[in-house]
Amino acid sequence: TRLSTTASVMWASFLSRWGLQPPALSALIASASGSLVASASTSSYLRPFLAASLLYHGFEQYIRWRRRARLAVKGVPEAVAAAMPEVDPAEYARAQEYSAAKNNFGFVADLYGLATGLVHLWLQAAVWNGPALSLVLRCGGTASHELARAGASMLLCAPWDLLSGVPVDLYRTFVLEERFGFNKHTWLSWLGDSLKHFVVEELLMGSLMMAPLVLLVRSLGAAPPLAARACPRPVTALPSPPAGPSSWMYGFGFTSLFVLLLNVVYPVWIAPLFNTFAPLPEGDVRDGVEALVKSSGINCSRIFQVDGSRQSAHSNAYVAGFFGSKRIVIYDTLITHLDGDVEDICAVVAHEIGHAQLHHNYALLGVSTAQLFVMFRLFGVCTDPRLVTDFGFDAPCAYLSLLTFFTLWSVAMPLVSFGLNAFTRQLEYQADAYSVRLGFDIRKALAKISKTNLSDLNPDPLDSLFHHSHPTTVQRVLAVKQLLDTCERKAL
């Protein structure tokens, strides 16, 4: 407690140089820090949240120890050699070395993420109670100007949110990925992409979603104002009322529409901010893909090649968008890794077309909507004002009700991801089967892609179960082989 209080006072002193500190601000920030730490021992919400977070990170470290032991085994396993006899032992060892390097880095990155997450948890309350309120008051506002205070809080926390992730990203990009030949970033391009990602995805997208969401929850679903005793100190006006019993319906409806709109807009307007999308160049590859599009019947005439090689040597392809924004995107690295082989490239594109033709995008949107429904329904149940004050904030309001609930919900996300990964793995099998039905054998392409991406062909089962959205390459190869054998028997 003494350490966090001292840090908060030093930070308040720094802010005062910029005119953001009224006479008692340092005491307010110090008390916010102290109340957050103290509430960890008595809180109805903060203590379970911290316990669940530590449990999750402990489980992640356990999986990494299992993965480390598995990666230490030398030689190509019999199961891999039987399914993919073309695997070269030297190349397999290189892939294992890459996986081991990522895994070892993960030990440190996970602990660093836990530490920075706890700092962010404290910082949100300290900034909201002190500098954000001070800034709003200096600009002529009052404590009841909730969105202004939220915007000030986001801006004041932005430097930490941006800089706290830099050490991990720098090491991953310029040490780990560079060592294995995957990094294609220059320092300037990395800096530009990092700033664009932060501004567009963190600040802009966050503001576009949170501001209307707060207004809806506050205006249409708000409960009666809290009594003055909800505020631990006098302010120029009471905070706006917190979320009410019906607020979850408006939040769910708006967020669902926002997610749908984002799926339509992202491939057209946002993705081009980070990469160059050009029509697939004329030649055999384009002719083959266009013929595939025509034979599959997919309603999509936009076929793009993206300059993924500007950032990384990893390869990919996908079909994105809904309605009129649908497009097929092929990474230039994929064409290179598959040696320009039209048959292999079309096999991969057929897999991606399968996702669209089998309506997997709508299935995933449905799952996402169901998740949002559960999340906001629980939000409607959590009306206890202590959900806000237990996290160190001065008094409840609609914005803080949403913010603290989303923080609490984050501990459930690993379980949500576990279920979603199990679902998407089945979709991958279906897309592979679709590629086979169109007359392609995707096994050779899968082997090439795993080779160039240095994929782990023999991952730990528990790791794969919890973290992988795709089946392993060996599992996919065996499934395709079984399907082809079945087709041959039926033909006979």
Catalytic residues: 352, 432
**Best CA proximity match to 326, nearest among 291, 293, 285:** 293
Round to whole Å and give the CA distance between 330 and 313.
13
What is the number of other CB atoms lying within 10 angstroms of the CB of residue 100?
16
The answer to whether the annotation marks 355 as part of a ligand binding site is yes
Please check whether residue 289 is in contact with residue 345, taking contact to mean a CB–CB distance below 8 angstroms: yes
Q: What whole-number distance in Å separates Cα of residue 61 and Cα of residue 56? A: 9
CB atoms within 10 A of CB 82: 11
- Cα separations (Å) of 1 from 34, 112, 274? 6, 20, 43
Q: How many CB atoms lie within 10 A of CB 65?
A: 12
Q: 185 with 173: CB under 8 angstroms?
A: yes
DSSP letter assigned to residue 131:
I
Q: Is 428 annotated as a binding residue?
A: yes
Using CA atoms, how far residue 222 sits from 241, 336, 372, 427, in Å, is 6, 56, 20, 40
Q: Is there a contact between 13 and 29 (Cβ–Cβ < 8 Å)?
A: no
The residue written with tokens 């408006």 in the block is 250
In the numeric block, the tokens 């939000």 are attached to 379
**Residue 467 assigned as binding residue:** no
Euclidean distance between the first and the last CA atom of the chain, given in angstroms as a whole number:
76
- Which residues does the annotation place in the binding site for Zn(2+)? 351, 355, 428
- Which residues does the annotation place in the binding site? 351, 355, 428
